Each structure stands twice: as structure tokens, then as C-alpha cells.
Structure 1
Amino acid sequence: MRKLIFGILLLAVVGIGLLHIFTPGDLVFYHDTYRRLSYFPIAVGAILFGITGGLTLAILTSLAFIPHIILFMGEGTEAYLSELTEILLYIAVAVIIGFIASKERRLREKYELLSAKLKRSYARLHSETELLIEVEEQLKASRKLSILGQLSASLAHEIKNPLGSIKGTAEILLDEFPENHPKHEFVKILVQEVDRLNTSVDEVLLFSRHPQNLEQEKGRESLSKVITRVYKLTQNRTEKKKIAFRLTEVDACRDCLVDGHRYSQVLLNMLLNAIDAVDHNGRIEIACQREASWAVVSVSDDGPGVFDTELEKVFEPFYSRKENGTGLGLSISKKIVEGYGGKLEIEKSRWGGACFRIWVPTSLPNAYSPDQVSSV
């Protein structure tokens, strides 16, 4: 674009020079007009291209003006010098305007550079401020959870012993009342509710422990075997709700060895959540696939799914949409998976429900260690 503009200015200079040549010398008014028009390309060139551009156009204008000066050489010294002075004015205008334009351009570039630095500094400051606020909020939440975890663990220990006594007494009463006795059903409900409460207490105790303090399983199992076992365990529940329950590509995880007890707990939690979420005649699918050094187990359903605003909350402790849920199942599952160097994610399934993806590392020892826990 700049070359095009400079070319147009050159054409203007050449054109004015030709007008001087082909216009008769006695038409003074026209020659005076041409002289004044010559300042425009010089001034524009100086503004756009600085001193260099202005001087170039001024010199070219002067060269184009020479044939016109020759016409006045015979008119006397005064007329000749007047025309020569015009050339000096061309050069002076080019230098003055070019100097001012160059200085203004340097100042503008300096301010633009300063503005860009300020913008980057502001963006960095804004980012660091957001990070600081986020870290502060996480620290507050961590402190609250730490206090809550300690309190919950203390209460859980205190509750667990009386629960054992209550369950033992209830089982004695259950034996004393035959199945056809009207009170048998009530005692049975008491035993079931004690078991449910005991499970909730165990979840609180498990969540309050650090992953590396969890008991180690001596035996390892194939991940595909664990998936198949949990699948069979939950088949009865899915049949009652007439759920289309499918297991696909499980052999892809056959050579991945895991802590069978812990991963059974994780998968069972995923499946029970899915069974609770789907309606009668719904769909649930467990699939396994290999991705580089990972075995990825997905549990998908066609239930109502999870809102986008809840995607990051579902793994938070004590967060639950169930009326009687503790909100610890997914938190504990995530803690177990990450403790073994894996990842637990949630996304929308292809049916619009929820899809939990468990990433199990195949290249790392699948057991808890302080180094793995600190790196997660």
C-alpha cells in the first residue's frame, strides 16, 4: 500500500512537471498554480515517509521544475532567483514536515509499545489476581474440609461402637421373631437401617484417611475380571428395573493388573449411581478401551445426566442430589483412583446421560505410594 501511494505521488510530480513544460511561458497564472500544487506531493510524502520521502519528492519536483526555470533565465536576475527560491522552499518544506512527522511517528510507536507492555502487565496482573483468589478460596475450602473431616472421623468412631451393639441386639430380636410374626418385619428394617448407617460411617472414615494410609491389597487382579465381577453383582438390580445392561470390549483391559478390592468399590459406586439415575427400561453400558499407556473404563447411562454447572461439583465431598446420599461416594472413588496414579472424569454420554471415565495407568505400579500421591 505504501509503495502504491509513493508511486501515485511520483506520478503527480511528473505530471506537474509536464504541465510546466507544455504550458506557454506567458500564462503566468497557470505556472503559479502548478508551483503551489507541487507542495502537495512533497508535504504528503514527508508526512507518510518522513524526511527521506519528503526530500526525494522535493528533489524530483525540483528536477521537473528546471525546464520551467530555463524559460525565465532571459527575463532578468530577479525573475530567475524567484524561481530558484521556489526550489529551496520545496526542500525546506520537505525537511520541516518530514522532521515533525518522523518525531510524531517515533512518539506514537513509543506510546504503542508502552501501551502493549501495560496491557500485558495488566493481563498478567489480572491472571495472577484471579489465581490468588482461587488459591485463597481453595485454601479456605481445604481448611473447612480438614476441620469437617476431623470432626466427622471423630464422630464416626464414636458412632461405630454403639452401632455394633445395636445391630447385635437387633439380630437377636430377629431370631426370636419368626418370619410370620408381625414384629419380624420391623426388626428386619432395623437391621437393614443399621447396616446402611454403618456403611455411611465407613465412608466417612475412609474419606478422612490419607490415601497412603489405606490398607494395601496383597493380591492383584485383572481389571477385566474386576469389571466382570462387579457387572454380575449388579445384574440383579438392573433386571428389577428392566435396564438394558451391556458389557463391551472388557478384554481390552485383561493385562492391566489392579487392586481388585479398591477398584471394585469404585466401579460398584459408579454402577449404583447409574442404576439409581436411570428410569425403568433404561440403558447402562460398561466399556473398556486402551489409550496409549492407559486403560480407560467408561460407565455410561441414559439418565438425566449432570448439568454443566455441576460437573466440577460432583466430586466435592458431601455434595449429593440424592435425598439420602452422603455425598462421599464419588469423592472417595476419585481419591482412590488418583491415589493409584489414575484419573476420574465425568462427561455427557452419547445418550445424554452421565458417563464416568476411569483412567487406569498400565505403565505405573498400581498401588499407593507417597510419591504417586504427591504427584497427583
Structure 2
Amino acid sequence: MQQIKNIRLLIAASSILGISLLHYLTPLHLPMLHDVFQRLYYLPIILSGLWFGLRGGLTASLVVSIMYVPHILFQWGIHPSLELEKYLEILLYNVVGGVTGLLSQREETRREELERTAKGLEESYRKLHEQADLLIKTEEQLRRSERLSALGELSATLAHEIRNPLGSIKGTTEILKDSFAPGEKKYEFLEILLKEADRLNRVVENFLGLASPVRVEQNRCDIMLELRELVAFTTAEALSMEVKVRLEPAEIPPIKGDTEKLRQVFLNLLMNALQATGTGGEVVISAVGPLHTSENQPVIELSFADNGQGIDQEMLERIFQPFFTTKKGGTGLGLAITQKIVESHGGTIRVTSTKGKGTTFTVILPA
């Protein structure tokens, strides 16, 4: 910007100097040329007014006047009538310089005001966009809360109506099983019945866990210690699946949270990653932080990444909905409960996936 200003200043000064030299070096017996040179002075005056405002226009007209007056006195002084005309021309130079500069300055001021208004509108639009996003998120949370509230009322009744007969079925089955020897057909059928009863009981427990409020104890939680113990705990499972689990080392400060419930979150995400990864695949667990959000809040990010087949975009949008599952025999409550526990800690969980390359779950917790 300064370079452009310097170039314009050089053009205006050179123009004034060049026109003045033409005046002084042109013989007086060529008055038509002097008239032309006299009018040429308006060009640098108008340009200076347009480029530099009122001060620039007046400065250029004053410089022109100073450069032109000696020419009038010493060369045209022998013609008094022409001399008066030249002085009137000098007056017109200053009028034109002042008017042009004033108009240009007003236009520049208006342009700056419009730019400030545009920036203000842009900032207002950005804030409105953020508020709209916040309202959408809040509305979604309210809808989820309403659904969970209705689910809680339903679950209280279902728990009683299902668990009591389920307990009777399980007890009766165990008594009947003692009447048969292992290997008999009926013994095998009763074993299946017990397994299915246990599975149904787990579904009811998960259902109750999703519907009921999560009580979070604020204790000191060493994230990296929990992740190391979790990897050690699942080593045998990973070996049986021929999947490599790698925990990337990191210096993460302890956070406040419910250790047991966070361990449940980490275990669920790791087991999902193991099941999604094929033979010879790898699951990578990483942690970074503390980072800072757009609201300047410190957070810790934990990632569970697998290199499995990935998830379709359509399914990805429903991945945290209750009873939605992509696993055979799954209840579809694990990720919904995981999300609820994370949110009860004031955090968020998100998922990204590329078909054929893998899936990454990222847990963000306040540091």
C-alpha cells in the first residue's frame, strides 16, 4: 500500500515539474502551446485530489501556483491583460484542487464506513450462525432428554415385568438341568436357554442403564494408567482375534471423573474396534492434551482407531441411536450408553469412518 502511495506521489510531482519546464522552455511567441500547458496543470491537481484527498488536492494546487507564478511575473509581465487572466487561472487551480480533494475524501470516508458496516454484518452473521448451531444442538439434546425420560418411565415397568419371570425361568432351568447328564440333547437345550436368559438379563440391565440418570463421581482419574491396564486386560482377546493393539505413549494430566464409568467407555470402544478389525489388523489408541476449544476450555482427546472395513455414511449418522447396531447379535445399546456417560462428564464423542479404511471414535473430556 505504501509503495502504491509513493508511486502516485512520484507521478504527481513529475507531472507538475514536467509541465512547468515546458512552460519555461517554450518561447512566448507560441501562446497556443502555453494555453495547452496551462490546462495540463489540472491533471496532476485532480489526480492528487482523488488519490490523497483534500490535503493532497490543495497541496498540488499550491505547488502548481508556486511553480507558475514566476513564469507569469517574468515572462508574461509585459502583457498586463494576460497576467490577470493567469492569476485567475491560479485561483481556479486551488478551487479545483480543494473541491476534488474534498469530494474524494468524503467518498473515502463513506467507503470506510461501508467496510466497517460490512465487517459488522459479517461478524453478526457469524454469531447468528453459531447461535443457530447451538440452538439446533440444544433442541436435539432436549429431544433426546424427552425420549430418555419416556424410556425411563417405560423401563421401570419393564424391568419389574421382565426380571421377575426371567428369574423364575432361569431358576427352573437350572433345576431341570440337574436331571440330565452333560451330552444329552435336553441338557444342551437347557444350556442354550440359560445363555439366552443371561443375554436377556444383560439387555434389560443395559436398557435400564440407558434410561436412568448417570451419577458421576468426581475423583482423580489417571487416563493413561487406565488405558494401559485396559490394553493389558484385553491382550488375550486381541491375540485370539489376531489383532494388534497399540497404545501410543503420551503425557496426559489426570482429570476429574468417574473412573469406573470411564473405564466402561474405554472398554466398550476398544472391544468394538477389535470386533471391527479383521485378522492381521491393528487398533491404535492415542491421547493428546490438554488442548483448547474455541471457547478456550482445556480438553483431552482420546482416539480409538481401527483399520477395519469402515461404516457407511448412512449408518454413521445413526450409530449412537439406541437399539441400532451393525453387529450380529448386538443389542444396539453399547454406544448409546457410552455417549451418555461421556456427556455426563461434560464431554463429547464423535466418529469418523472411511469405507474400506477404518473407523475412529474420538472422546473429548474436560481437562
TM-score (ref. length: structure 1)? 0.75
Q: Which whole-Å CA distance do the structure 1 matches of 2:196 and 2:143 have between them?
A: 35
Q: What's the CA shift string for 1:90-144, capped at 9, x where partnerless?
A: 1111122222222222222222222322222232223223322331232122212
- Is 1:190 aligned with 2:188? no
Distance 1:137 1:33 in 2: 77
1:207-222 paired onto structure 2 within 5 Å: 207-212=210-215
- Return closer, same or farther for 1:139/1:81 CA change in 2, 3 Å cut-off: same
Q: Quick one: structure 1 residues 66 and 356, their matched pair in 2 at CA, closer, same or farther if it must change by over 3 Å?
A: closer
Aligned-residue offset at 1:53:
1.1
Query: Identical aligned pairs, as a percentage?
Result: 36
**1:213-292 counterparts in 2 under 5 A?**
223=226, 224=228, 227-232=231-236, 234=237, 239=240, 241=241, 243-246=242-245, 265-266=264-265, 268-279=267-278, 281-285=279-283
Q: Counterpart of 1:46?
A: 49
Q: Structure 1 3/310 Cα, relative in aligned 2: closer, same or farther at 3 Å?
A: farther
Stretch of structure 1 that moved more, 102-111 or 87-96: 102-111
Question: 1:72 — aligned with what?
Answer: 76
Structure 1: how far apart are the matches of 2:203 and 2:122?
Answer: 53
Equivalent residue for 1:181, pick from 180, 184, 204: 184
Corresponding pairs, count: 346
Code of the aligned partner of 1:96: V
Partner of 1:56: 59
Residues 230 and 267, structure 1, Cα contact 8 Å, conserved in 2: no
In 1, the alpha carbon distance for the partners of 2:8 and 2:155 equals 78
Q: Does residue 120 in structure 1 map to residue 118 in structure 2?
A: no
1:171 corresponds in structure 2 to 174
Of 338-347 and 199-208, more deviation after overlay is shown by 338-347
RMSD across aligned C-alpha pairs, in angstroms? 4.0
Hey, what's the Cα distance between the residues in 1 that align with 2:7 and 2:230? 74
CA shift in 2, pair 1:127/1:162, >3 Å? same
Tell me the SS of whatever aligns to 1:40: helix
Change (3 A) 1:290 1:213: closer
Quick check: 1:297–1:357 contact (8 Å CA) kept in 2? yes
Deviations 1:313-359 (A, max 9, x none): 5444433222432222133345456667888676679x943455778
Which residue does the alignment assign to 1:200?
203
> Aligned partners of 2:86, 2:347: CA distance in 1, in Å?
89
2:330 aligns with one of 318, 325, 329: 325
Paired AA for residue 303 in structure 1: G
Structure 2 residue matching 1:211: 3-state secondary structure: coil
Please say if residues 55 and 94 of structure 1, whose CA atoms lie closer than 8 Å, have aligned partners that are also in contact. yes
Q: Distance in 1 between matches of 2:121 and 2:245?
A: 58
Q: Distance in 2 between matches of 1:297 and 1:123?
A: 29
Question: What is the CA-CA distance between 1:263 and the residue it aligns to?
Answer: 6.3
Q: Which amino acid aligns with 1:93?
A: V
Aligned residue for 2:27, secondary structure, equals: coil
Q: Answer whether contact 1:288 1:295 (CA < 8 A) is retained.
A: no
| Alignment CA distance shift 1:297-1:151 (3 Å) | same
What per-residue deviation string (whole Å, max 9, x for no partner) do you get for residues 123-168 of structure 1?
A: 2223223322331232122212221233234313321111111112
Amino acid at match of 1:35: Q
Matches within 5 A, 1:144-163: 144-163=147-166
Deviates more, 1:263-272 or 1:104-113: 263-272
Deviation of 1:22 (Å) = 0.7
